[in-house]
Structure 1
């Protein structure tokens, strides 16, 4: 009876208040800098998620901010009067709005997935650690796991495969039945002597 081994441990996600504070802080940095520091949101997101898409978007936002700064620095005087200056402001503010929307959506989704993975890992550990009396009629108590808010992308299978703990329990029940039958025959042979 060899199992698949231990899965990758999932770290407990940070407290929700801390995550909200970080989100507000990074959005405020982008807003108060009028978009010049919008890349900071994407840098944090890319560092947290470690996805190549987020790193690519970080580079794109940084390039858009640098291009905006370069175009605005070519403006004569303090006011924006040229087409390139107007394009730079449009690019700067458009990048800011898109970055804020993507940053918040991706950060919230990432930490919700981590929280669900952590809850599933805790549930599996609690089920594995349960060592109560082996009875086929009373399953072990399971902690409540949150139900995801979005429907699954693929329909669930018609008949789910038994988990490892259920398979072990079934094998133990079969062994118990076999031993009871074997002990019954052994007792009848000794009483006949």
Structure 2
């Protein structure tokens, strides 16, 4: 099975100023020659486009010019006063008018398409923009592997409760409790002393 061949590269079209100059010169050549050289512009069009239609128009214009020359040459005298002479003049100027209109329309359309094809070709062969020249780095996405398996998330392990440190009473509170105990001891000692003295006096 054969693949498709590569497309032929499109040549860069001439500058617009050059194309306008060539068109003006060829049209002026046909007009100033009274239509006898109208085929020159069609010849240039057929060579540039290489289309069978343009070649057929060139052959028709050349045949019309030759026929008009024959009709005018068969006219007796210098003045045109026969139907053949009038037909030759009409055919000559009609061919000139048709050649000018057809040449300008076909030539403009051809080079416009060539310019569009050349622009598309330039875009097709343009190198990709480098991230080092544009200043932006493309995002890096790793390709997924066929053997890579997404790990399942594990539940968190229960943490043992941390015992709270024993709270120690403040030193001032200890001193206060100690003082109260001392006062209570003195009070009990005195109270016991009074009770012992009362028992001895009763005896």
Fold shared by both chains (TM-score > 0.5): yes
Q: Give 1 or 2 for the bigger CA radius of gyration.
A: 2
Structure 1 residue 124 displacement after superposition: 1.0
Once the two structures are superposed, residues 112-149 of structure 1 have per-residue CA deviations (whole angstroms, 9 ceiling, x without a partner) of 000000000011112xx10535xxxx9x9xxxxxxxxx
* SS of residue matched to 1:10: coil
Match of 1:82 in 2: 82
How far is 1:5 from its partner?
A: 6.8
Shift of 1:177: 2.9
In structure 2, the partner of 1:109 is 109
Instruction: Answer with 69-78 or 5-14: which moved more.
Output: 5-14
- Residues of 1 paired with 2:60 and 2:10: CA distance? 31
Gaps of 5+ in 2: 152-203
Question: Counterpart of 1:28?
Answer: 28
Q: 1:5 to 1:63 in 2, by over 3 A?
A: closer
- Root-mean-square deviation (CA, aligned residues, Å) is 2.7
Structure 1 gap segments, 5+ residues each: 141-171, 186-193
Q: Which runs of 4+ in 1 moved over 4 A?
A: 3-6, 181-185
C-alpha change, 1:184 and 1:6, in structure 2 (3 Å) is: farther
CA offset at residue 182 of structure 1?
4.2
Distance (whole Å) between structure 1 residues aligned to residue 87 and residue 114 of structure 2: 39
Is the counterpart of residue 19 in structure 1 residue 38 in structure 2? no
The aligned counterpart of 1:178 is: 144
Deviation at 1:53, TM superposition (A): 0.7
* Deviation for aligned residue 1:4: 6.3
After superposition, the Cα gap between the structure-2 partners of 1:38 and 1:5, relative to the gap in structure 1 and judged at 3 Å, is closer
Gap change, CA 1:76 and 1:4, over 3 Å in 2: closer
> Residues of 1 paired with 2:70 and 2:109: CA distance?
34
Q: Match of 1:178, SS?
A: coil
Deviations 1:22-61 (A, max 9, x none): 0001000100001011111110000000001111110100
CA–CA distance in 1 between the matches of 2:128 and 2:108? Answer: 33
